[in-house]
Structure 1
């Protein structure tokens, strides 16, 4: 025997109210989860008109004519297709935090036979010419870059490998190692964080590669750097974003702060892969993940919280500081004090054994 009509109506009304309550709770949760993202985006949009005035390449004669001549050499070029070149940064005007003699950028500046030139963007990629648009974007303002991840070709990949290429050498473009670009990103981002007093430390996969082989793991997708907070900064990491922007890097917030190569980088024309679509660049280009490291006091004890750490565990103070050191491609980097314990907790007792791919 069925329920009386009044009970059926009351039950249905109860279900409707329950559904509404669940919907409201989900909306509140969504707002809470995305609040930080919205806040970061709001900060960026508010300051988009405060981009520093940077020195650009301005010695290339007849730039507009050059752009169209280069574009016309591409297969299937249509003169009605949008075409442009970004305002590539002048490498001679950039200040890098490394020794002046024999370094990567001093060698790049010395390449008089192959001066820096801008990449040429056509069709959907033409939006990459607009920095004011790009500063508020996430993955879609990263320079489309591809690279090899196979061993042994990329087992000892180094940023110095990037100095041997040519803008028009497609064979060289196909031989670029992902890890070579990551090595360049790692050093530049790490040194900029250190210059700003935020005490960088290599973590996770980057630390794992350093311990295993003192190199970047060839098949890894990113580099991992921890940083400590500067409580005096008006905008969270805005100073770092602008410092990296001035070197040709795009820093953006997507669940974490991340950094990729921007279209204005001095090596953009050599690294750019015109075959990659912009809509599929999420986690598909070389990038750096930045992880906030914060000490927290519990009575007389101090523990550290580190973004993305396994099981959200807290790490005892003596396991983190003072920092220890590891080497990557002959260069020293700071990291957590107890490296073995950190890697064992993250990757298991067999962390020294690479997982077959």
Structure 2
């Protein structure tokens, strides 16, 4: 199912901060919006019996700092049932909860929509500015990567090998039992965490690289 990429203009135009000093507790920070977007998705997916895992940069921040990297623009999660997630029923329900599902650069993404009733998430909204017309103008969003099971792969009894969209050369072990801590709350993630982080961020992944 295709999502109209032009519908990105339903996203709120936010001026939240990506400062290295930002935290998930400060409403003016993009990390605050990302954290609360993740909390919503975790509850929403549980309600719909949808499985997901924390991956990429979000996993890096959780392992390294047990929080969300303050200068990141997105939460990275792997999803199993992409087809169901993209149905009109689910998209409409997401919108009713204040989130807009759109597609940009070949990937489904989720943003806070401009009519969200949660004023805390819209604390940095600039209503005088025209809505975003590209992903580069959206300051906080969730990337939804498809996760596909690799059949006939030999693993332990409770794990399976999966391929994650955009990184098919790297295989992730997933039991859906492993969890990672972000701000003292746990979220599902892959099982081969260290292998994943070394592959994407090298063996130096525990060393902070603060943007200039």
Superposed displacement of residue 322, structure 1: 4.2
Work out whether 1:278 is the aligned partner of 2:147: no
Q: Can you list the C-alpha shifts for 1:32-82, whole angstroms capped at 9, x where unaligned?
A: xxxxxxx514xx7xxxxxxxxxxxxxxxxxxxxxxxxxxxxxxxxxxxxxx
Distance 1:299 1:345, change over 3 A: closer
Distance 1:237 1:332, change over 3 A: farther
Structure 2 unaligned residues grouped into runs of 5+: none
Work out whether 1:315 is the aligned partner of 2:158: no
Contact 1:324 1:338 in 2 (8 A): no
Instruction: Compare the two structures and name the one with the higher strand fraction.
Output: 2
The residue aligned with 1:188 is 40
The residue aligned with 1:17 is none
Q: Can you list the C-alpha shifts for 1:76-123, whole angstroms capped at 9, x where unaligned?
A: xxxxxxxxxxxxxxxxxxxxxxxxxxxxxxxxxxxxxxxxxxxxxxxx
SS at match of 2:2: helix
Residue correspondences, number: 203
Work out whether 1:331 is the aligned partner of 2:178: no
The residue aligned with 1:141 is 10
Q: Distance in 1 between matches of 2:57 and 2:209?
A: 12
Superposed displacement of residue 185, structure 1: 1.0
Q: TM-score if structure 2 supplies the norm length?
A: 0.84
Please, which of 236, 242, 250 is the counterpart of residue 100 of structure 2?
250
Q: Can you list the C-alpha shifts for 1:128-154, whole angstroms capped at 9, x where unaligned?
A: xxxxxxxx84321101111112132x1
Q: Distance in 1 between matches of 2:100 and 2:170?
A: 31
Contact 1:179 1:220 in 2 (8 A): yes
Q: Which structure has the greater CA radius of gyration?
A: 1
Q: Distance in 2 between matches of 1:280 and 1:322?
A: 36
Please, which of 138, 143, 161 is the counterpart of residue 303 of structure 1?
161
Counterparts of 1:32-181 in structure 2, within 5 Å, are 39-41=1-3, 137-152=6-21, 154=22, 156-158=23-25, 161-162=26-27, 176-181=28-33
Superposed displacement of residue 283, structure 1: 2.9
Structure 1 unaligned residues grouped into runs of 5+: 1-38, 45-135, 163-175
Q: Distance in 2 between matches of 1:224 and 1:181?
A: 14
SS at match of 1:40: coil
RMSD across aligned C-alpha pairs, in angstroms? 2.4
Instruction: Compare the two structures and name the one with the higher helix fraction.
Output: 1
Q: Can you list the C-alpha shifts for 1:151-193, whole angstroms capped at 9, x where unaligned?
A: 32x1x323xx43xxxxxxxxxxxxx111111111111123212
Q: Distance in 1 between matches of 2:10 and 2:123?
A: 17
Q: Can you list the C-alpha shifts for 1:210-268, whole angstroms capped at 9, x where unaligned?
A: 0011111000011111111177x4x8444432221110111112211111111221135
Counterparts of 1:227-238 in structure 2, within 5 Å, are 227-229=79-81, 233=84, 236-238=86-88
Work out whether 1:348 is the aligned partner of 2:202: yes
Q: Distance in 1 between matches of 2:153 and 2:147?
A: 19
Distance 1:203 1:238, change over 3 A: farther
Contact 1:193 1:227 in 2 (8 A): no
Contact 1:198 1:230 in 2 (8 A): no
Contact 2:74 2:142 in 1 (8 A): yes
Superposed displacement of residue 299, structure 1: 6.8
Distance 1:179 1:263, change over 3 A: same
SS at match of 1:206: helix
Q: TM-score if structure 1 supplies the norm length?
A: 0.52
